[in-house]
């Protein structure tokens, strides 16, 4: 029941809380997309090469050699002696697999050659060395 002397108050929609929610959602999406960049290997200082090209291969295996000379296969530490067997088991029957070597620029050349030799013992894999543009 309404009293006759009450004035009719026009309905209003307060959009301030809605704007706060929209900005919170927008902030969430912006922050989450910053973390969507997928780093294939462990962080190392890659050597620079002016002729570096981006490879687009769907199946990748990343081998990282850090500044201490420690080897990692897909971000998991591994002994160089087990590298051939592990790469062979990951590759399986997929001939389009690309093995990318991320070696720190301070790593000795002999260590990189040893890793490359172990990878080349697996039939059908393609080998690439990661660099960055100067």
> HEC profile for the chain?
CCCCCCCCCCCCCCCHHHHHHHHHHHHHHHHHHHCCCCCCCCCCCCCECCCCCCCCCCCEEEEEECCCCCEEECCEECCHHHHHHHHHHHHCCCCCCEEEEEECCCCCHHHHHHHHHHHHCCCCCEEEECCECC
pTM: 0.60
- What is the pLDDT, as a whole number, of residue 106? 86
Q: How much is the mean pLDDT over the chain?
A: 80
Asked whether residue 1 is assigned to any structural domain, the reply reads no
CA angle, 93 then 99 then 101, to 5°: 160
Question: Taking the CB of residue 68, how many other CB atoms lie within 10 A of it?
Answer: 8
Backbone phi and psi for residue 91, each to the nearest 5 degrees, phi listed first: -65, -45
- Residues of the chain with pLDDT > 90, as a percent, come to 7
For residue 101, the enclosing domain spans 60-129
What are the tens digits of pLDDT across the range 19-73? 999 999 999 998 888 777 655 566 666 677 777 666 666 678 888 888 888 888 8
Query: Is the pLDDT reported for residue 80 higher than 80?
Result: yes
- What is the pLDDT, as a whole number, of residue 4? 64
Asked whether residue 85 is assigned to any structural domain, the reply reads yes
Average pLDDT over residues 102-109: 86
Asked whether residue 122 is assigned to any structural domain, the reply reads yes
The number of domains in the chain is 1
Rounded-to-integer distance, Cα 41 and Cα 61, Å: 9
Asked whether residue 88 is assigned to any structural domain, the reply reads yes
Query: Is the pLDDT reported for residue 3 higher than 60?
Result: no
Asked whether residue 42 is assigned to any structural domain, the reply reads no
């Amino acid at each position: 029941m309404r009293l006759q002397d009450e004035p009719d108050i026009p309905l209003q929609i307060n959009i301030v809380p809605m704007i706060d929610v929209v900005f919170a959602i927008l902030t969430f999406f912006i922050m989450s997309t910053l973390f969507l960049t997928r780093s294939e290997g462990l962080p190392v200082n890659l050597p620079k090469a002016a002729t570096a090209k981006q490879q687009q291969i769907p199946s990748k295996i990343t081998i990282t050699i850090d500044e201490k000379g420690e080897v990692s296969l897909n971000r998991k530490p591994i002994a160089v002696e087990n590298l051939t067997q592990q790469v062979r088991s990951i590759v399986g029957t997929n001939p389009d697999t690309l093995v990318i070597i991320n070696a720190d620029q301070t790593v000795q050349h002999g260590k990189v050659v040893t890793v490359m030799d172990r990878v080349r013992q697996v039939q059908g894999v393609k080998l690439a060395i990661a660099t960055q543009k100067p």
